[in-house]
């Protein structure tokens, strides 16, 4: 064992926890040859829908060394965002009766902003302790196979719903990565614990899931966020009230019974109440900008929210 790499790893874990991350692991930077055929087949089958950006930077997705010259380590960070269920929120007066459903990850401030702030603070601490080094930070913002690297770094296993799962915490967490030219003691992958369970597959109303494979073109999150044109008529009466994202395959996952509420103030619900369908449809661009400019919901835009809510048939 490289004693220096092991000691550096322990210091990294401590600093990551101090910044607010729930897990910190490391994988050795290399090309993910084992992912190449899977990714190519997924793209060729059109399972990415109209997310054409997935077709670009194929080699970069497989090899982080093409994103950072001299990259030796992929540091994987998890941050909890779990909040009470929609039913609990409704009872607390946060969700209005009949309000279109919003995925939990979008209840607070945009995670890109929050996590990049935290990673920059972590990098500053690392440079103070380890000396200068080269790095790049990412969170769902670059051609990086985040879940594959998280699994390699021992953060959990990729479940049948294609989310990263942890026995002790479920799946309500964001993934972030720091690519750097430092050496650390690497972590080992963990065992798959999905077993014979198929709850996520059985519960998906649009049949977007099969074991360990997602047809994103059928996923409610894709239909309500990524798809810019009208939602295909074939999905009528299958959306189950979701207007932005979807948590169904996480809500039914047995491992999420261990999820605990996050402690990050910036992920607290932005407003005392979510708008009703009628309030959404009467909202102006100025109102939307004032309320959601720093929210993940800004990605859909007001036009997108109107499109989704009209499709839900929630209007009187």
The CA distance from 9 to 75, in Å, is: 10
Let me know the angle formed at the C-alpha of 61 by 56 and 62, rounded to the nearest 5 degrees: 130
Measured N-to-C along each axis, helices 3-19 and 111-130 cross at an angle, to the nearest 10 degrees, of 140
Task: Say if CB 126 and CB 133 are below 8 A apart.
Answer: yes
Q: Please name the helix (run of DSSP H) or strand (run of DSSP E) that holds residue 148, with its range, or none.
A: helix 146-152
Task: Say if CB 106 and CB 245 are below 8 A apart.
Answer: yes
Which tokens hold the place of 90?
Answer: 């409704």
Q: What's 32-45 look like in SS3?
A: CHHHHHHHHHHHHC
The CA distance from 12 to 253, in Å, is: 31
Which listed residue (88, 117, 124, 140) is catalytic?
140
140 as an active site residue: the answer is yes
166 secondary structure, DSSP code: B
In sequence order, which residues have a C-beta less than 8 Å from that of residue 52 and are 6 or more positions away?
Answer: none
User: What residues are labeled active site?
Assistant: 140
């Amino acid at each position: 064992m490289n004693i220096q790499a092991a000691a550096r790893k322990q210091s990294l874990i401590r600093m990551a926890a101090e910044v607010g991350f729930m897990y910190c692991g490391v994988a050795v930077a290399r090309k993910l040859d084992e992912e190449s055929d899977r990714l190519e087949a997924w793209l060729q089958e059109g399972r990415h829908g109209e997310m054409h950006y997935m077709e670009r930077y194929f080699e970069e997705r497989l090899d982080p060394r093409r994103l950072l010259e001299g990259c030796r380590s992929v540091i994987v960070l998890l941050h909890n965002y779990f909040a009470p269920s929609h039913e609990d929120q409704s009872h607390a007066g946060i969700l209005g009766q009949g309000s279109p459903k919003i995925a939990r990850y979008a209840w607070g401030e945009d995670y890109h902003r929050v996590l990049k702030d935290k990673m920059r603070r972590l990098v500053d601490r690392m440079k103070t302790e380890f000396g200068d080094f080269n790095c790049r930070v990412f969170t769902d913002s670059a051609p990086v196979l985040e879940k594959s690297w998280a699994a390699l770094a021992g953060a959990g296993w990729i479940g049948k719903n294609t989310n990263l799962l942890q026995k002790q915490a479920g799946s309500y967490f964001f993934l972030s990565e720091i690519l750097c030219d430092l050496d650390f003691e690497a972590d080992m992958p963990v065992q798959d614990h999905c077993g014979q369970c198929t709850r996520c597959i059985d519960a998906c109303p649009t049949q977007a899931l099969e074991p360990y494979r997602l047809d994103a073109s059928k996923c409610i999150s894709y239909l309500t966020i990524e798809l810019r044109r009208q939602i295909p008529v074939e999905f009528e009466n299958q959306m189950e009230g979701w207007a932005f994202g979807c948590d169904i395959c996480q809500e039914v996952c047995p491992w999420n019974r261990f999820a605990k509420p996050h402690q990050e103030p910036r992920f607290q619900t932005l407003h005392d109440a979510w708008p009703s369908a009628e309030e959404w449809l009467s909202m102006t661009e100025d109102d939307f900008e004032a309320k959601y400019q720093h929210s993940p919901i800004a990605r859909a835009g007001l036009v997108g929210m109107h499109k989704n809510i009209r499709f839900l048939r929630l209007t009187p």
